[in-house]
Structure 1
Amino acid sequence: MRIRTTGLAAIMAALALAGCGRGEGPVEDAAAPEGDAAVAARPHTPGDSETLRAIKQRGRVNCGVNPGLIGFAYTDNRGEWRGFDVDFCRALAAAVLGDPRAVRFVPLNAEQRFEALRTGRVDVLWRNTSWTLTREAGDALTFAGINYYDGQGFLVRRSLNLNSASELNGARVCVQSGSTSELNVGDYFRSRGIEYRPVVLRTEEEARQAYAREDCDALTADISALAAARVSLTNQQAHAVLPDVISKEPLGPVVRREDEGWASIVRWTLNALILAEELGVTDDNVAQLARESGDPRIRRMLGREGEFGAMLGLPNDWAQKAIAATGNYGEIFDRNLGSQSTLDLARGLNAQWNARPGGLIYGLPIR
């Protein structure tokens, strides 16, 4: 009995000392991170972005784009880069450096694009690239948003009298290698027990040329790319895109994973252009609204209230400069893909969420 009492007393004394230790003087926390773990535990600041520092030092943004896709990225007769993705690159350069011309366009095919990003040849990949699990988790990349919702389809000659892709039994189908299109078309026909003969080409341009030479009966790719391919054909009225949409293709900018500060800059530049359309801010009225608007949403976005630019490591008028350079999302779309372009694509899923009919484009709040 005496032994048990003594043991109990010792335990109580130890607990009392431990309690005193917690209340007096510094006590080492065994769970506190040390070394690399301590660095990782600290929150990132805008100055942590190695990409942003490199861009400011060189004085330009290196932007990876498609080598030539009408509507998205191509050079005009004067050698100037034009297109939907090109305009987003220019807006990003305006936000970061204050100059939409401070951008170097690096044409990259599907096989080159991710390696160019990983090795630092480009700062951002802004070309028709689908956001998938394998690319983000497996390839250790970060998608900074979605600027175009697409889907895969089939371009065929009207002379074949086809109404559906399910009628392509035994057909030769041109497709680009190393793309999600190559995987999707295999899934589509295999799941339906349909035989087909894939004609796999190295680049988008080679696939389009093979279709034009009639080396295949159908060309499969994103529907936006098929619209561009159709425009480039000698007699575009002789060709049609079938109504089948066999996949979801969310296209958007990609950056290296390890630079979250830079990912935020790309993400919020895209978002500002989307939000600008929702709020009625255009390249024509952005300067006036920055001076006169009483709408707190617009004032925050254009840098008249708050310190939102500083959170990104940018001037507070970063979004105003981006919008002034290229216009808002809707202006960029109409000019390159929509009613003002040769493609004349409907907004469809790429309409604003509150449009009639509504789409999937949704601006995140800047506040």
Structure 2
Amino acid sequence: MKKMMLSTLVAAASLLAVAQQAHAGATLDAIKKKGFVQCGISDGLPGFSYADASGKFTGLDVDICRAAAAAVFGDATKVKYTPLTAKERFTALQSGEVDVLSRNTTWTSSRDGGMGFMFTGVNYYDGIGFLTHKKAGLKSAKELDGATVCIQAGTDTELNVADYFKANKMQYTPVTFDRSDESAKALDSGRCETLASDQSQLYALRIKLGKPDDFIVLPEVISKEPLGPVVRRGDDDWFTIVKWSLFAMLNAEEMGITSKNVDEKAAKPA
């Protein structure tokens, strides 16, 4: 365990050296030239990327951006954030508007193999579920036959919901929205009978509703959604930095390493 811990620290520290020495990749060279990482994040999802009253972003996905900036510059604050909807996110990455997409995005074969992207790993395992009104008295998603379903456009939720209803021989009416907050408001107002999304997003959206306790997440999880950061193909150095920044964070969390005790942990003999 101690050897793993020390190797994690060495790997994290060596990222800065890699970033300082590498010049082959267009993305990494552009990042170093402008002096910051441009990071694509969600348009407001508590726990993943969310701005407080002062405009400071925090969350799991934001931490990935900060770690990559620390690896390149030795300074986790050298990040600028671009909030993106699900429909906007891939175009923003393909066009170079952002350097990395750290936005609760599902790793799929079509995205990894057919869109010019590379996923650097998984930072959260999720699955699609359904949020609905308590007053409806539903106990299972299999009772949703004929329901109106709110879905965020540009997500694989659309396909997974269609497959689930077809497999269970049920009918439904999809109502799509560009932004997650819009779909939550539609559920709150009664325009939709249920909201389909990753379960983590359902719980995050529920706390933003007028009366969160009036809603429940049904027990079924109808898909596997490995979420993680994404970069463009063509810059192996930048891919390596984002990947190992993620790995270092995962191992450090498992081993209880924080910014406050990292020097103490590293000083202990293996």
Do the structures match in fold with TM over 0.5?
yes
Give the TM-score of the pair, scaled to structure 2. Answer: 0.90
Q: Is 1:72 aligned to residue 52 of structure 2?
A: no
Give the structure, 1 or 2, with the largest relative contact order (CA under 8 Å, sep 6 or more): 2
Matched to 2:234, the amino acid is E
Whether 1:274 aligns to 2:227 is: no
Name the aligned partner's letter for residue 249 of structure 1: E
Alignment-mate amino acid for residue 141 of structure 1: F
- Report the RMSD for the aligned CA atoms in angstroms: 1.2
Instruction: State the shift of 1:142 in Å.
Output: 0.4
- Deviation per CA, 1:83-105: give whole Å up to 9, x if none: 22112211211121111110000
Unaligned runs of 5+ in 2: 1-20
Partner residue, 1:294: 269
Q: Classify the secondary structure of the residue corresponding to 2:184.
A: helix
TM-score (norm 1): 0.66
Matches within 5 A, 1:96-111: 96-111=72-87
| Structure with a larger share of its residues in strand | 2
Q: Which residue of 2 aligns with 1:252?
A: 228
Q: In structure 2, what is the Cα distance between the partners aligned to 1:136 and 1:129?
A: 11
- CA deviation after TM superposition for structure 1 residue 271, in Å: 0.1
Q: Which moved more, 1:216-225 or 1:198-207?
A: 198-207
- Per the alignment, in what secondary structure is the counterpart of residue 131 of structure 2? strand
Q: Which has the larger radius of gyration?
A: 1
Alpha-carbon deviations, 1:36-93, whole Å to 9, x = none? xxxxxxxxx9432222211111110000000111221121111111222112211211
**Structure 2 match to 1:161:** 137
In structure 1, runs of 5+ residues without a counterpart are 1-44, 296-367
Does residue 142 in structure 1 map to residue 125 in structure 2? no
- 2:156 corresponds to which letter in structure 1? T
Tell me, yes or no, if the aligned pair for 2:25 and 2:234 is still in contact at 8 Å: no
Match of residue 319 from structure 1: none
Aligned counterpart for 1:200 among listed residues 176, 193, 203: 176
Secondary structure of 1:111's counterpart equals helix
Distance 1:60 1:241 in 2: 39
Matched, 1:239 2:215: yes
CA separation in 1, counterparts of 2:114 and 2:76?
33
In the alignment of these two chains, the number of paired residues is 250
The CA deviation at 1:140 is 1.7
AA partner of residue 253 (structure 2): E
Q: Show the counterpart of 1:128.
A: 104
Residues 146-194 of structure 1 show CA distances to partners (whole Å, capped at 9, x for unaligned) of 0000000000111011110000011111001111111110000011110
Q: Which amino acid aligns with 2:68?
A: L
